[in-house]
Amino acid sequence: MLIHCENSNCKHYFEDSCMKNMNKEMISIDNTGRCVDFEKGVNEIYSETDNSKRCVLTKEEVLKMLPDKDYIHTFRDGNISLIGADWSRKEILKAIENYEFELTGQQATSMGHGIAFQDNNGWVFVETK
């Protein structure tokens, strides 16, 4: 379950949501409504601004990471929650031709979506083997 968060100075913050809670870890809110689990920092998902941590993949590497099935699960941030959708393999192959794919961080990878690309609507996280 996503919990709304507006503290972009917390390392668990991602697009107005608490990712610590998304990873099924309980968070604590005090009687004033403040998160007791605040940890100063920046979420690793935002590390794409640090090019030294980016790992851009070749088309061949992306193809090896895709599950061998007709429909592949994806998700993107919908501000209030993550929005998941199954894309046909054909749609994913078209995206591979049109966009630069890269490895995702620990959280998305732990959710089985180890690669991502950015289109006109934001990041699309793609299911991997």
Same domain flag for 77 and 118: yes
**80 within a domain of the structure (yes/no):** yes
Query: How many Å apart are CA 87 and CA 105, to the nearest integer?
Result: 21
Reported as a single tens digit per residue, the pLDDT across 8-51 is 777 777 766 777 766 667 777 788 777 788 778 777 766 555 55
**118 within a domain of the structure (yes/no):** yes
Same domain flag for 38 and 64: no
Same domain flag for 33 and 86: no
Tally the domains of the chain.
Answer: 2
**5 within a domain of the structure (yes/no):** no
For residue 117, give its domain range: 51-126
**20 within a domain of the structure (yes/no):** yes
Write out the H or E segment, with its range, that includes residue 27. Answer: none
Same domain flag for 58 and 37: no
Among 113, 120, 76, smallest CA distance to 98 is for 120
Query: How many Å apart are CA 2 and CA 62, to the nearest integer?
Result: 29
The two beta strands, 122-126 and 71-77, are antiparallel
pLDDT of residue 70 exceeding 90: yes
Same domain flag for 28 and 70: no
